[in-house]
Structure 1
Amino acid sequence: MSKPKYAVIVEYIKDKIAKAEWAIGSQIPSQRELASQFQVNRSTVITALDELMADGLIEGVAGKGTIITNNTWTLMGRHAAVNWNDNVALGIHQASMNMVQEINEAESDPHFIQLSKGELSPDMFPLQTMKSIVRNVSEKLIPFGYEEPQGNRFLRESIADYLSERGVDVSPSSVLVVSGALQALHLISIGLLQQGSTVFLEKPSYVQSLSVFQSAGMTLKPIPMDAEGLRLDMTSPVKQKGKHVLYTNPTFHNPTGTLMPEQRRRELMAVCEKQQLPIIEDDVYRDLWIDAPPPPSLKSNDNYGNVLHLGSLSKTLSPGLRIGWVVGPESVISRLADLKMQSDYGSSTLSQLVAAEWLASGAYDDHLGHVRNDLTIRRRAVLEALETYLGDDAEWEIPRGGFFIWVRLNAAHHTGRLFQKAYARGIILNPGSIYAAPNGQYIRMSYANAGLEELEEGIYQLGQLMKQG
């Protein structure tokens, strides 16, 4: 005879508590989350929670939800529990915003329509080519251990050749292989910047949804944007050398999709060189152009070693490879390589060899052609759906590449409330507030991940929610 559904939930929670996976003082999932997980109505969840409260294992705490108060050992013993839960808020690295954590959780749930996920659709994953390349790599494998501090030499040579074709003349000795651009930012924040430094960046910016610089003791100073990117007339003179850096994403900017033209790039370089303001150039979307190739990178016009250039295969090929790179002066790369060795002793050798094969064989450039064709189709479909279902309630610019359309809703709508309503309907969107948008009227719309039918359905549902007010 099968157990009642509420009893299954009770057993699940007790098991989590008994194994100390849910420590005393920690919050259990909400009634809504438990109901969804076990496919029951909320009254069944409430029955289960009532039984656990009667057993003295949990209790409701105002403003905190339902909290673990005991486990089976503390109920039998005389002493209070000692566990890691009290240390959760003591670390130096700040937690993500609650909304960002909620989005991160939902992005791995296949039941949600992903209207903002910054990742290529599984439909665009080159499975057969990947299998072929992995086979080629495996046939040439020899016993391997830790790689050189800067990364596999064959991969660094392949990255240098790849960058040379895009106007950046660099030696393999000036390349550091990292586990994605985010690790590069972390290494820069702890290895090259002192506490109290100021990080200038676009407003809005993807970095605002992270805590990488703030956790290292830096202050973010946003600079407004216009249709050509970061506004140079809004920058202020740097008075204290060595305590400031500019982070910029000039090519298909995340989240706005803005493409900085060549003249603005040259002007930006001139300003930063004059003020001795170093630049972190995040160029991970460069290869995702649709209408025409983008202007040369900032690094391609860097005559003084002022620019640290970040690239990655996560957006264009697969985030699962965990392969990115930093390009900069050799002394800087050596410093960052030492820090990377201290943190993880190098990225996976297999991933590095596979990435090198993709770049060196020409398969990567062939793959990019297919990706651009698919993104062209997807962008057209989303623009048509936006015009059909949100045309009276929103406005947007047409991006020339990348993943995102920056949608501005009219003043009658609040994106925070829209996020919650969409979430309840199984739709994930990213409100502009997590990127420090100028006001709460923006959402980041992605045409890269969800299927074409899901994209239209999700935008239709948003239109319906907005009509409801």
Structure 2
Amino acid sequence: MPHSQHSSYSSGKSEIPTAAFSRRAEAAGGPPIANVLMAEALAHPEVISLAAGFVEHDSLPVEEVAAAVQSMLSRRDVALSSLQYGSTIGFPPLRQAIVDRLAAAEGRSPSELAASMERVVITAGSNQLLYLILDTLLDPGDIVLCGSPTYFVFLGIVQNLRGCAVGIEIDAEGMIPEALEERLAWLARRGELDRVKAIYIASYCDNPTGITLAEPRRPKLVDIAKRWSRGNLIRIVEDAAYRDLQCGDVRPYSLRSYDDGGCVALLGTFSKSFSPGIRVGWGLLPSDLLLPVLALKGNLDFGSPQFNQMLVYTALENGALDSHAEGLRRRYHEKIQVTAAALEESLRPIIPIQYVQPAGGLYVWVHLPPDFDTGIDGDFFRACVREGVLYLPGESCFPNEENGVPRNCIRISYSMPSPERLRQGIAALGRAARRTRSGMPGSSTKR
């Protein structure tokens, strides 16, 4: 052909086409700020991180895992099974053990709970199952109701699925039933009730607030979900990730215990109570939700790692997991006391603060004065960085609010630092608050 017909290639270089990505990939955005701060904590151990939501590093169950692995590998049949593919739904003995443990915790038989191993699915941590459930339930534009604030990873999942997270007011006892009812009534008046597919509730030692949902509110919330399930069933997705880390001898029954098995999907994990590196989560699902979740899961991973599931089962059977969780509760209880005392000693004398002392878990949520901007671009955050301490800005934990997102809250994670480092870190928050309040420059000489 004549050269003139190929003028666009005359330079000898071809144009690179623009990459096209799915709408879901574009909706996912960059890494959440919490992930960035967690990476900073790992990369700079000299910084006191009150942001990273890790379990206590030095308490990870090294000896317990070594013993469990040795036990598994000492029998050739068990060893071979642990190294083979498993089923999409998960290792049967572990699923049965989960049902038995749940029944014991609820003080009822599995049949009374309408719980069986056939309804239990094992996933690589409970976050994977949370994604699978929401992916099963949500079309673009559908609504999930949640506490305000709530778990930032949940918000990211809803955004990724192009759904809409709508906040419900909480107080020191968790989600307020009357606020939930009012919001559902408001959506019904707008003709949007059929868009509501689920209510997300972290029922024990919530991330980020540390609040445990009060026992009297649990049956009320289940009842509200059922009464407002008119054009479609509104599910409750109950995230019980921190149940095993709640201190004290008495823990409230799950929301699932007030359900007949058709409304509440109960999620749990062994990441917090044993080892996050092993990544074993689970869910007790309504029967009609199970098959579509498994269909998605099968396309995703062809079954969670069999070795990890058998390891957790071995640690359950020999008592190592429960013993380890009990030790964690003691350690975290001490750190809760240290955190509260340090907040009173180092922060409250400088600025008025509000917080609910948690009954367990990994976090405490602190309200600073309204004129404090705790965002990552604010003076307070910059002052904290210069003082050598990190926290999670609270703005990342709110769904989009009609009147804007509060910017005066912080999440403190007390799990990783030692008690002494906790005191030092909260003292650094106090110094940063003093500088911010007085209008001093953010740079400072560390003391």
Q: TM-score band, normalised by the shorter chain?
A: 0.7 to 0.9
TM-score if structure 2 supplies the norm length? 0.82
1:26 paired residue number: none
Q: Please list, as runs of the form range in 1=range in 2, the aligned pairs for 1:413-432 lying within 5 A after superposition.
A: 413-416=372-375, 417=378, 418-432=380-394
Q: Please list, as runs of the form range in 1=range in 2, the aligned pairs for 1:39-50 lying within 5 A after superposition.
A: none
What are the Cα deviations for residues 322-369 of structure 1, in whole angstroms up to 9, with x where unaligned?
110111123322221221110111111111111111222222111121
> Does the 8 Å contact 1:382/1:455 carry over to 2?
yes
Q: Give the C-alpha shift of residue 149 in structure 1.
A: 1.6
Give SS of 1:251's match. coil
Alignment-mate amino acid for residue 263 of structure 1: P
Alignment-mate amino acid for residue 118 of structure 1: G
Return closer, same or farther for 1:223/1:90 CA change in 2, 3 Å cut-off: closer
Q: Please list, as runs of the form range in 1=range in 2, the aligned pairs for 1:114-263 lying within 5 A after superposition.
A: 114-140=49-75, 141-143=79-81, 144-167=83-106, 169=110, 170-207=115-152, 210-235=155-180, 236-237=184-185, 239=188, 240-241=193-194, 243-263=196-216
Return closer, same or farther for 1:80/1:311 CA change in 2, 3 Å cut-off: same
1:411 paired residue number: 370
Give SS of 2:25's match. coil
Q: Structure 1 segments of 4 or more deviating over 6 A?
A: 83-86
CA distance in structure 2 between the aligned counterparts of 1:84 and 1:344, rounded to whole angstroms: 30
Alignment-mate amino acid for residue 466 of structure 1: A
Gap runs ≥5 in structure 1: 1-76
> Does the 8 Å contact 1:150/1:334 carry over to 2?
no
Gap runs ≥5 in structure 2: 1-10, 400-404, 437-447
> Does the 8 Å contact 2:371/2:408 carry over to 1?
no
Return closer, same or farther for 1:321/1:391 CA change in 2, 3 Å cut-off: same
Return closer, same or farther for 1:124/1:84 CA change in 2, 3 Å cut-off: farther
Alignment-mate amino acid for residue 314 of structure 1: S
Q: Tell me, yes or no, if structure 1 residue 308 matches structure 2 residue 265.
A: yes
Q: Tell me, yes or no, if structure 1 residue 363 matches structure 2 residue 320.
A: yes
1:20 paired residue number: none
Tell me how many residue pairs correspond in the alignment: 393
Give SS of 2:105's match. coil
What are the Cα deviations for residues 284-310 of structure 1, in whole angstroms up to 9, with x where unaligned?
011111234321000111114100000
1:321 paired residue number: 278
Give SS of 1:91's match. helix
Give SS of 2:303's match. coil
> Does the 8 Å contact 2:89/2:120 carry over to 1?
yes
Q: Give the C-alpha shift of residue 201 in structure 1.
A: 0.4
CA distance in structure 1 between the aligned counterparts of 2:209 and 2:126, rounded to whole angstroms: 19
> Does the 8 Å contact 1:419/1:430 carry over to 2?
no
1:386 paired residue number: 343
Alignment-mate amino acid for residue 66 of structure 2: K
Give SS of 2:166's match. strand
Return closer, same or farther for 1:199/1:89 CA change in 2, 3 Å cut-off: closer
Out of 70, 73, 79, the position equivalent to 2:13 is 79
- More relative contact order in 1 or in 2 (CA 8 Å, sep 6+)? 2
CA distance in structure 2 between the aligned counterparts of 1:412 and 1:312, rounded to whole angstroms: 38
Q: Give the C-alpha shift of residue 97 in structure 1.
A: 6.0
Q: Tell me, yes or no, if structure 1 residue 451 matches structure 2 residue 418.
A: yes
1:296 paired residue number: 253
Deviates more, 1:454-463 or 1:109-118: 109-118
Alignment-mate amino acid for residue 164 of structure 1: A
Q: Give the C-alpha shift of residue 460 in structure 1.
A: 1.2
